[in-house]
Amino acid sequence: MAIIADTPAVTRVSLVNRLIGMIPPAFWAMLILLVFWEVAVSVLKVPSYILPAPTAIMAEFGAYWHRLLPNAAMTASEVVIGFAFAVVIGVPLAILITYSSLMERSVYPLIVASQTVPKVAIAPLLLTWFGYGLAPKIVIVVLLAFFPIVINSVMGLKSASREMIHLARSMGASGWQTFWKFRLPHALPNMFAGFKLATVLCVIGAIVAEFIGADKGLGYLILVSASNFNTTRQFAAIILITVIGIVFFMVIERLERVVIPWRHRTVPGGEL
């Protein structure tokens, strides 16, 4: 009878343990960091203009959300549009470089050399050419993001073995069928690695562009807050930038699992 009476309690404990186990370790690490941050700021009496407490940052979100969210939406739109253009430009360019030795010898070195030019240095030129609207920000995002897309796509498209290509052609596959059925599936893991790296660079490019010249966006909001010594608002904007980057990265990672599910298929020995 005692065993029967204790069964619900044991079940509740196992359920709680299971729920705790579902929470990723990164959450607990972040929670410990925030608690340490809050306690340290309070004990050391650090002024808010030097380092605000996490609770003060959350209060800033509640009081200033009507300005934070529209500026976050502007930055997010720059990131998404710039990433889309980078993919539209980078993937076809990678295909041309893969299939054309002339393109590889003439264009590929120029793409590599273009990355040695600091984008901050050419940002004023873009403002002169395109004005202070959305266009120069998109151009800077594309210039930062398309390079890893091109490089990783070329590596992936060239990673298909010669034996595989010869086998496909010997079985009567056309050039398009060889690309679609053999080269592209083999290249997708590399391409998505480039896409995920580009998501981070897109966020950096958008903020850099807003630092150079903008009248809205989280980068602009950080500059205005810095001029007013409002460090709490700067931290709130930085957190939103981080959230945009993480969400965008997770979207691309989820898309990768949909497009190439065999790469993430689990087997008894682990994950493929």
* Neighbour count for residue 217 (Cβ, 10 Å): 27
% residues pLDDT > 70 (the chain) = 83
Task: Look at residue 134 and tell me whether its pLDDT is greater than 90.
Answer: no
| Domains along the chain with CATH numbers | 53-271 (1.10.3720.10)
Confidence of residue 268 (pLDDT cuts 50, 70, 90): very low
Three-class SS state of 266: strand
Confidence of residue 12 (pLDDT cuts 50, 70, 90): low
pTM (2 d.p.): 0.81
Confidence of residue 10 (pLDDT cuts 50, 70, 90): low
Distance from C-alpha of 186 to C-alpha of 194, rounded to nearest angstrom: 14
The type of residue at 131 is: G
Distance from C-alpha of 112 to C-alpha of 91, rounded to nearest angstrom: 16
Displacement of CA 255 from its chain's centroid (Å): 13
Structure tokens at 87: 């993919």
Model confidence over 33-56: pLDDT tens digits? Answer: 889 988 988 888 888 888 888 998
CA distance readout (Å), 52 to 41, 42, 143, 236: 7, 10, 35, 10
The average pLDDT across 146-167 equals: 81
Model confidence over 64-79: pLDDT tens digits? Answer: 888 889 999 999 999 9
For the chain, the 3-state helix, strand and coil shares in percent, each to the nearest 5, are 85, 0, 15
* Most confident of the following: 84-88, 120-124, 127-131, 154-158: 84-88
Query: What average pLDDT is seen over the chain?
Result: 82
Q: Which residue is listed with tokens 């989280």?
A: 218
pLDDT value of position 214: 76
Judging by beta carbons within 10 Å of its beta carbon (0-12, 13-18, 19+), is residue 270 exposed, middle or buried? Answer: exposed
Phi-psi region of 118 (alpha: psi -120 to 50; beta: other; left: phi over 0): beta
Distance from C-alpha of 151 to C-alpha of 212, rounded to nearest angstrom: 28
Backbone angles phi, psi at 31, to 5 degrees: -65, -45
pLDDT value of position 92: 92
Q: Which residue is listed with tokens 């053999």?
A: 182
CA nearest neighbour of 98 among 142, 159, 143: 159
CA nearest neighbour of 223 among 108, 22, 15, 233: 233
Displacement of CA 265 from its chain's centroid (Å): 23
The average pLDDT across 8-36 equals: 73
pLDDT value of position 228: 86
pLDDT value of position 47: 87
Element (H, E) at 71: helix 54-99
